[in-house]
């Protein structure tokens, strides 16, 4: 990234750049990296993690979709009364020149029923939709990894499996509340 940025800057300074419009404004909104971890069993949803680097102004990530998956949701893991639960997210902020990270134990994607051919190919093209420029869309190939072998009860990925049964967690929450 760095050498490229410097080279691009040099070109822009020389006035030879065809993409000078972008360079003048500095950073460009983009997906820097991302991967998918398959669920422990085929009926479990996969989890998706990624890093987005912000452009010149604040924007929101408003949706992530994949044509080759049945359903994708943005979630946030939160600790409530010592219990990890997760909530659906409708958007997540990408600060100007900053970073938005979806990572284990925090914000994550939940992805249901990824197309078998995509799994075999080891990558899933995902579309990231933003609030700027009339819903700018960025397509990024997410690398698909097998289920974490460390899928033990205390692994961060685990709260995911538990949360998959949203109903059950809700019921559990109600029971907990009733106990108080």
Binding residues vs Cu ion (CB under 5 A): 75, 86, 110
Closest to Cu ion by CB, 112 vs 119, is: 112
Host H or E run for residue 100: strand 99-102
Rg (CA), the chain: 19
Would you state the structure tokens that stand for residue 179, as one six-digit string?
Answer: 């106990």
Minimum distance from CB of 46 to Cu ion (Å)? 10
Would you state the structure tokens that stand for residue 54, as one six-digit string?
Answer: 């912000």
**Residue for token digits 């460009």?**
28
Name the residue number minimizing CB distance to Cu ion: 75
Would you state the structure tokens that stand for residue 102, as one six-digit string?
Answer: 């979806």
Query: Phi, psi at residue 122, to the nearest 5°?
Result: 80, 15
Closest to Cu ion by CB, 59 vs 110, is: 110
Closest to Cu ion by CB, 18 vs 153, is: 153
Minimum distance from CB of 110 to Cu ion (Å)? 4
Minimum distance from CB of 103 to Cu ion (Å)? 13
Closest to Cu ion by CB, 110 vs 124, is: 110
What 3-state DSSP class applies to 57?
A: coil
Checking DSSP bridges between strand 137-145 and strand 30-37, what pairing results, if any? parallel
Q: What single DSSP character describes residue 9?
A: H
Minimum distance from CB of 24 to Cu ion (Å)? 40
């Amino acid at each position: 990234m760095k050498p490229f940025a410097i080279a691009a800057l040099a070109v822009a300074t020389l006035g030879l750049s065809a993409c000078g419009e972008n360079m003048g404004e500095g950073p460009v909104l983009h997906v820097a990296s991302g991967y998918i971890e398959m669920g422990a069993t085929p009926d479990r949803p996969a989890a998706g993690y990624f890093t987005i680097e912000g452009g010149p102004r604040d924007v929101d990530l408003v949706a992530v979709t994949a044509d080759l998956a049945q359903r994708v949701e943005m979630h946030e893991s939160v600790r409530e009364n010592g219990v990890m639960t997760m909530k659906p997210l409708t958007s997540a902020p990408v600060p100007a020149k900053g970073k938005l990270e979806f990572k284990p134990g925090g914000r994550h994607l939940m992805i249901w029923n990824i197309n078998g051919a995509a799994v075999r190919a080891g990558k899933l093209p995902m579309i990231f939709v933003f609030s700027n420029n009339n819903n700018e869309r960025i397509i990024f190939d997410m690398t698909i990894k097998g289920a974490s072998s460390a899928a033990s009860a205390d692994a961060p990925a685990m709260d995911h499996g538990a949360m998959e049964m949203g109903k059950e967690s809700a019921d559990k929450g109600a029971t907990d509340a009733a106990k108080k």
